[in-house]
Structure 1
Amino acid sequence: MTSVANAAPVVTGLGIVAPTGIGVAAHWAAVLAGKSGIGRIGRFDPSPYPVRYAGQVPGFDTAEQVPSRLIVQTDHWTHLALAAGEAALADSGADLGAIGEYEMAVVTSSSSGGTEFGQKEMTALYQHDPGWVGAYQSIAWFYAATTGQLSIRHKMRGPCGVLACEQAGGLDGIAQARRLLRGGSRLVVTGGTDASLCPYGLTAQLTTGRLSTVPDPERAYLPFAAEASGHLPGEGGAILVLETAEAAAERGLGTGYGRILGHAAGFDPAPGSDRPRALRRTAEQALADAGLTPADIDVVFADAAGNPADDRAEAETITAIFGPRGVPVTAPKTLTGRLYGGGAPLDVATALLALREGVIPHTAHVHEPAPGLDIDLVTGAPRERPLRHALVLARGHGGFASALVLGR
């Protein structure tokens, strides 16, 4: 375990742009206070739709956060990532000018790309003709646009990529950043954001049948509860700066916010195959990759789908690994909705803050787990205790599963 920890990359910077607030301090304060960022959708009139609530980033001023030339070239999803990336790099204190351009890399997660930008341009096409479609449609909708814009803006010419694995992609992107650091990169910008709150984006999400139509924003998304009825969508996420342990030590940062100790990814078997779903073996493999046992984990940040069947499957996985009520479990995403490509990076950022502060955030709006779910779900108020390691779980629509182990 010692050799794994010593070689593990360090998170030196965080940038958060989420429904719980802009910036690390605002987000953490909202999480501890149980202050929800979910409200009636404001980017368009949701009246004709069965889902009218979502997590939205409050007070985001695009003109202040994004260079004017990029605003017209990119989608709101990329705007959020550009702001979060700028904040993360500033937080890290890294001198980018002292690092070779080819030693810096970018890996983000994305689940949908620039849906709002794409809808606007496709509407122009359908209502008029191709001459009405702007040239930037060719790139702004693309799921790799955020990675590209971050790398261009900060002159990061090392290996760049994007993971399109829905919610699980955020953990997979961070794991890819770890691989790049092991392969010679010195600094990697990673994480992700999402922003699919437009008529086209919401309609696409409705086709999954997993969104909650409960008209009360505090009762619509209740993972692990008896009243669970699906989830609410959201926008935003988190961008992280990862550096090698050696680079962080040279700058006197020690372990920074924390270290990435282990990861694994899996995919569910075909329905009806009678084979077990991937989450348990994925979590166990992540622990093995970190050189840890279940007894070393102090908190689990759950995927928390909000769908009764998926919640039960996740609860059974946690119980099978840690024993009945064997580890505290939390899901702060009840304050934001599921942010898809940005959701798991935000969970990682929150978990790192929890490890640093010795506080487990509670699962707001949920009073207790549903009967038969034998997990120690943290509800009511945050729980203070010394924390060493956290396990973050994520699943994506279609069968993706991912697990990430963090250490102080």
Structure 2
Amino acid sequence: MTVSAVITGLGVVAPNGLGVADYWSATCSGKSGIGRVGRFDITQYPSTLAGEISGFDAEDHLPKRLLPQTDRMTQLALVAADWALQDGDIRTSDMAEFRMGVVTANTCGGFEFGEGELRNLWSKGGSHVSAYQSFAWFYAVNTGQISIRQGMRGPSSVVVSDQAGGLDALAQARREIRRGSALVLSGGVDAPICSWGWVALQASGRISTSELADRAYLPFDAEAHGQLPGEGGALLAVEDMAAARDRGARIYGTIAGYATTFDPKPGSGHEPGLRRAIELALADAELAPGDVDVVFADAAADLELDQIEAEAIGAVFGPCEVPVTAPKTMTGRLGCGAGALDVATALLSIRDGCIPPTTNIDPMSSYDLDVVTETRPATVRNAMVLGRGIGGFNSALIVGAV
């Protein structure tokens, strides 16, 4: 019998809300966390808007000894992990340490920490570079710091696949549960908003240069002209369904299906891989297209990429046959945090019977998508989340009610 992996705890750190309650309230009411960058002097850059988290002071949540050795990204991830365990009423002290693991996704590592140490190197010399630089910048640092803090010494890893990463990490968590782990903390958190990170993001050529927060990130809109970066994401507590029920846990939903594909070489003439990922995820979940009640879109806000996504959704589900939403228009695209946050949002949609909106857009009718632009009451039993990463990554994950 296949072991079912279920999600019992959510830890959310997002530009429009810290914690599940604040984030969900803001998202359902259409409240945006996008604004002018305030973490550094943005005046010399062509792009000036992002989804920044306000009101977060790491000293309020973490021991002071951790602060000098961690980037803002890791501080957010550590707090999200704490909140996921609290939300799931999980006491790690009651579990065997080698049956608990951590699987996170990451896009940029600790950019801000690394930038600070490079400044020290250039201006003061090598003796002023922190020893913590050896790991604080690294992609796997969130996994390592969470596992140390929580005493989770079981199978752990990191996934690096851009916007698809949060979904890929949760799929790996499901594999570890099926292999016998009792608990896996999984998801993604990124924080690229510093001058070094900003330069790297600009190099993609996909960042909006609009000065208007409500017209800067417009997926599926005729005026789409690039995405907006953001910081944050979500970590989720994944457990075996039988064990979760035995301890009387509240279960948000199950990881019902997943698939990942890779796009063909540009110019090859072959179809992009997103449609195939959707079809394979449905097959993995043993669901028909009509069983999916909402699709959380990748929402690139690029006319070509939006067209590809719309065609893939339409080919599988039919024109305007499934509601499509992208609440990331209120947060920006959070790197590997995007997919994990969308999964958390999908589970809240299942819990509360509503689909959150894609804000500020006027969907192009030619896409033949039923894009949700106002919060919509709906019975949601199964939700699909899509994620695509630069370089050709495509992932589709389905969460279902239990």
Q: State TM-score, norm by structure 2.
A: 0.98
Aligned twin of 2:372: 378
Matched, 1:148 2:141: no
Asked if structure 2 preserves the Cα contact closer than 8 Å seen for 1:226 and 1:371, the reply is no
Q: 1:335 aligns with which of 325, 330, 333?
A: 330
Q: 1:53·1:217 contact (CA, 8 Å) conserved in 2?
A: yes
1:304-323 maps to which residues of 2 (within 5 A)?
Answer: 304-323=299-318
CA distance in 2, matches of 1:287, 1:218: 34
> How far apart, in 2, do the equivalents of 1:371 and 1:288 lie?
29
- 2:397 corresponds in structure 1 to 404
Task: Give the C-alpha shift of residue 387 in structure 1.
Answer: 1.1
RMSD: 1.0
Pair 1:180-2:176 in alignment: yes
The equivalences for 1:194-213 within 5 A come to 194-213=190-209
Relative to the length of structure 1, the TM-score reads 0.97
Match of 2:32 among 28, 31, 36: 36
Q: Corresponding residue for 1:291?
A: 286
1:39 alignment partner, SS class: strand
- Partners of 1:387 and 1:18 in 2: CA distance: 23
Deviation at 1:172, TM superposition (A): 0.2
Partner of 1:350: 345
Aligned residues: 401
Partner AA of 1:399 in structure 2: G
% same residue: 53
Q: What is the match of residue 268 of structure 1?
A: 263
1:107 aligns with 2:120: no
Task: Answer yes or no: is 1:228 the counterpart of 2:224.
Answer: yes
Distance apart, 1:371 and its partner CA: 4.0
Output the CA distance in 1 between the equivalents of 2:337 and 2:319: 30
Equivalent residue letter for 1:387: V
How far the C-alpha of 1:8 sits from its partner, in A, is: 2.1
1:253 Cα deviation after fit: 2.6
CA distance in 1, matches of 2:268, 2:56: 46
Once the two structures are superposed, what CA deviation does each residue of 1:6-50 show, in whole Å capped at 9, x if it has no partner?
x42110000111001111010000001100001111110101101
CA contact (8 A) 1:284 1:321 kept: yes
Kindly indicate whether residue 249 of structure 2 is the aligned counterpart of residue 253 of structure 1: yes
Instruction: Tell me by how many angstroms 1:129 deviates.
Output: 1.9
Question: Which secondary structure state, in structure 2, belongs to the residue aligned with residue 162 of structure 1?
Answer: strand
AA matched with 2:399: L
Shift of 1:130: 1.4
1:19 is matched with: 15
Q: Is the 8 A contact 1:280 1:317 kept in 2?
A: yes
Where has structure 1 moved over 2 Å in runs of 4 or more? none
Q: Does 1:56 find its partner at 2:52? A: yes
Unaligned runs of 5+ in 1: none
- The code of the aligned residue for 1:355 comes to I
What amino acid does structure 2 have at the position aligned with 1:166? D
Q: Residues 88 and 249 of structure 2 are in contact (CA less than 8 Å); yes or no, is this contact kept in structure 1?
A: no
Structure 1 Cα separation of the partners of residues 266 and 315 of structure 2: 22
Helix, strand or coil at the partner of 2:367? coil
For the residues of structure 1 that align with 2:176 and 2:339, how far apart are their CA atoms? 20
| 8 Å contact kept, 1:55–1:233 | yes
Q: Is the 8 A contact 2:4 2:178 kept in 1?
A: no
Q: Which sections of structure 2, spanning at least 5 residues, go unmatched? A: none
C-alpha deviations, 1:243-293, integer Å up to 9, x for none? Answer: 001111101236x11110011111111111111111110111011000101
Give the conservation status (yes or no) of the 8 Å contact 2:261–2:273: yes
Native 8 Å contact 2:7 2:254 kept in 1: yes
CA distance in 1, matches of 2:83, 2:90: 12
CA distance in 2: counterparts of 1:74 and 1:98, whole angstroms: 28
Q: Supply the distance in 2 between the matched residues of 1:35 and 1:8 (Cα, whole angstroms).
A: 35
Quick check: 1:262–1:290 contact (8 Å CA) kept in 2? Answer: yes
- SS of structure 2 residue aligned to 1:271: coil
